[in-house]
Structure 1
């Protein structure tokens, strides 16, 4: 084995656990509000969760081929650079810094604040303050090294499963609504195509994180055999859990009630567990969201750092600095925290999530299409894993992604336009800095 080669020690079971742990976050507890209000009917809402899972599985299987063929640090940025050139990779990195990671952090911090305010009986005016406090706290915690951030992540991963399974089991056994709450499938005042599209965009926030599953290919003993199994098995399990918990929600409360509350999971928990039990479940949900925020900060603060190391950003010398003791990109973390806090003050959870999903799915579709481009342009690339049922699975991923992107363009033109404008601001920045790109070997600490 070469000195800088990753150790191949992951089997199927730990790979499955990584996939499930990466994807399940806070969205499943809060997105039912947007899903059922967009769908207008419980049946169409459940269909959106199913379609979201199918697109996610197809996307995971497709992106994994690109990831395994280009096992470079940087993930999707590296894939786009290899396939389409520097400019598209730069725009993705820029979008991740300005929109994707900060909007994820801000949206999750807002739902943390909403949940905490509800639990403690505090007024809605306290939500933004709580969101800012938790963001600042976690940014500072991540300044103490990846070990500290990783410890928070491990504890939160365990805690996130407790409220999920508790609500599913008790919701099915004690819910008084039964199967009748799953109907009707559609509502007369909600056009199916656009309603399903908007509901689907909402579900994709809950499935977000799947793009990272291909990154484990280089550490698997047998990626050709086990990676597709881990993706299909792990993401299928996530989809089943999401469908089951949403059916459990409907067994307890009608879709109209879920659409009307900011905290659907807590509302259901209060009904089936009582006031005290509901509070315990709410604490579990808070820990889950807390861990998800931490995960985005842990990974997000390394994106501006990685770009700054190559002198790609204004202030690269400052952004590429590491603190002396823990070797953490503190200044990049400060930048990420500032942008996130600015977005928190918008107070718009669903708008932030729809914005980030729209922008990131443009780049996801490009990643899916890269399978076709690389097979034609780079047939000599070693591919330890190839997407099964080619070209059907990549086509499903691409068509699903295009549906999400174009539906957002038509149903939320202002939101989509804002996302495009902010992303395209990166183009003149790229043009002015591309002659300065370099490897900065002598980084200051």
Structure 2
């Protein structure tokens, strides 16, 4: 293939893409749901657990992303880690589940946008779905351009996200009305199995709100100085977003008691209404929708590179490897992710989509990658690694344990993940001989 992706995304742009992917509509829609799932003032520990999960797993992504800065992220990590025998199957299963769950991620963001839009204009179910579908179409159209322009757009959207979050946080702390403590007040035991299971169930929703700290790895072949900028972007994103989420939660329940906030679908809008009045709350709601829009922009951008990378490597359906002849981006892959996301946004419920997202990707992606780091270190050593995770192998052990715990916490959706893995394995062995290698890369 004569065309190649170009390294034109700076550290600021990469971090912007990560952060707007992470924030999205998730923390605003999940705010009251997390409180209801925990049922007491200790709900904020589910957000802390989500941040720790992202940080631990971020070390694995940083080591792999710096070592293999190519389009597709996990596709390349799994291919290299599992070698000639297992690599093609594992990398294919990742692309297989990504093609399915990326549509769920896109749909969940669009559905959340449509639901929150109800605060401004009451909508019927069909009108809400129409808003979600139109949003996906608009995002796909905006991404139909070269990566240099997209990088600049990401920084612009990111600046808006930061301003909005700071406004919410500062407003809460300057209008503090309710005493809040994250410590046990009525004899709760934070170290009991029942509490851990409760936090595990709620953290499925908070981890969803942190997902995206690794988006930069999907764009690895478009990042400048990837050995340094990929780890930096990941850790900056995680620390900043964790600080924003924790202070935002604390800020909101300092104005609206958590017992009241847990019953509101529009807790952030209610919070701004309580402080500034209904008109300002409407403005704040529009800004929350800005955040959701920015996140969906980053999500579709990152996922569109995964099927492209696999097809360009001869390990997936070849038409996904096509680049736009003038703008030089994987337009077939982009249209596929956007089109399937559009369909899912019209047919699914938000909570079902979130559980399925985690259940589908935990085993093939997160757990398999953590094990893959060990395999790569044993086979290749660490002398040539641009970044080495701290306290190895502790992050690997903790990551596998946490992800298996989260997989179990998704409930029935966990079985869906296993079923799709089995289907993907069958498709791989039936179709692999029909994929001519577009580009042959050495698997060691």
Does structure 1 residue 46 correspond to structure 2 residue 47?
no
Quote the offset at 1:185 in angstroms.
7.6
Does structure 1 residue 339 correspond to structure 2 residue 340?
yes
Candidates 194, 214, 226, aligned match of 1:211: 214
What is aligned with 1:293? 296
Candidates 240, 247, 255, aligned match of 1:244: 247
Question: Structure 1 CA distance, aligned partners of 2:107 and 2:24?
Answer: 14
Question: Structure 2 CA distance, aligned partners of 1:312 and 1:89?
Answer: 8
The question of whether the paired residues in 2 share the 8 Å contact of 1:27 and 1:205 is answered with yes
With over 3 angstroms needed to count, the CA separation of the structure-2 counterparts of 1:282 and 1:323, relative to structure 1, is same
Does structure 1 residue 36 correspond to structure 2 residue 35?
yes
Structure 2 gaps, min length 5 = 440-444
Question: Structure 1 CA distance, aligned partners of 2:255 and 2:143?
Answer: 39
What is aligned with 2:442? none
What is aligned with 2:25? 26
Quote the offset at 1:23 in angstroms.
3.1
Structure 1 gaps, min length 5 = none
With over 3 angstroms needed to count, the CA separation of the structure-2 counterparts of 1:20 and 1:345, relative to structure 1, is closer
Question: Structure 2 CA distance, aligned partners of 1:349 and 1:182?
Answer: 31
Question: Structure 2 CA distance, aligned partners of 1:184 and 1:55?
Answer: 26
The question of whether the paired residues in 2 share the 8 Å contact of 1:93 and 1:307 is answered with yes
With over 3 angstroms needed to count, the CA separation of the structure-2 counterparts of 1:249 and 1:124, relative to structure 1, is farther
- Please give the per-residue CA displacement for 1:58-105, whole angstroms capped at 9, x wherever unaligned: 111122112222233321110001112110110001111111x11111
What is aligned with 1:97? 99
Does structure 1 residue 133 correspond to structure 2 residue 134?
yes
With over 3 angstroms needed to count, the CA separation of the structure-2 counterparts of 1:129 and 1:234, relative to structure 1, is closer
More deviation, 236-245/375-384: 375-384
With over 3 angstroms needed to count, the CA separation of the structure-2 counterparts of 1:132 and 1:365, relative to structure 1, is same
The question of whether the paired residues in 1 share the 8 Å contact of 2:23 and 2:209 is answered with yes
Instruction: Compute the RMSD of aligned alpha carbons.
Output: 3.2
Quote the offset at 1:32 in angstroms.
1.1
What is aligned with 1:393? 395
Quote the offset at 1:328 in angstroms.
4.0
The question of whether the paired residues in 1 share the 8 Å contact of 2:20 and 2:157 is answered with no
Quote the offset at 1:237 in angstroms.
2.6
Alignment of 1:237-386 (within 5 A): 237-313=240-316, 316-317=318-319, 319-362=320-363, 363-379=365-381, 382-386=384-388
More deviation, 292-301/273-282: 292-301
- Please give the per-residue CA displacement for 1:185-221, whole angstroms capped at 9, x wherever unaligned: 8879x94232111111111111101223567797449
Question: Structure 1 CA distance, aligned partners of 2:427 and 2:390?
Answer: 39
With over 3 angstroms needed to count, the CA separation of the structure-2 counterparts of 1:187 and 1:423, relative to structure 1, is farther
TM norm structure 2? 0.85
With over 3 angstroms needed to count, the CA separation of the structure-2 counterparts of 1:294 and 1:231, relative to structure 1, is closer
The question of whether the paired residues in 2 share the 8 Å contact of 1:308 and 1:320 is answered with yes
Give the total of aligned pairs. 426
What is aligned with 1:79? 77
SS at match of 2:298: helix
Quote the offset at 1:435 in angstroms.
2.1
The question of whether the paired residues in 2 share the 8 Å contact of 1:41 and 1:187 is answered with no
More deviation, 369-378/338-347: 338-347
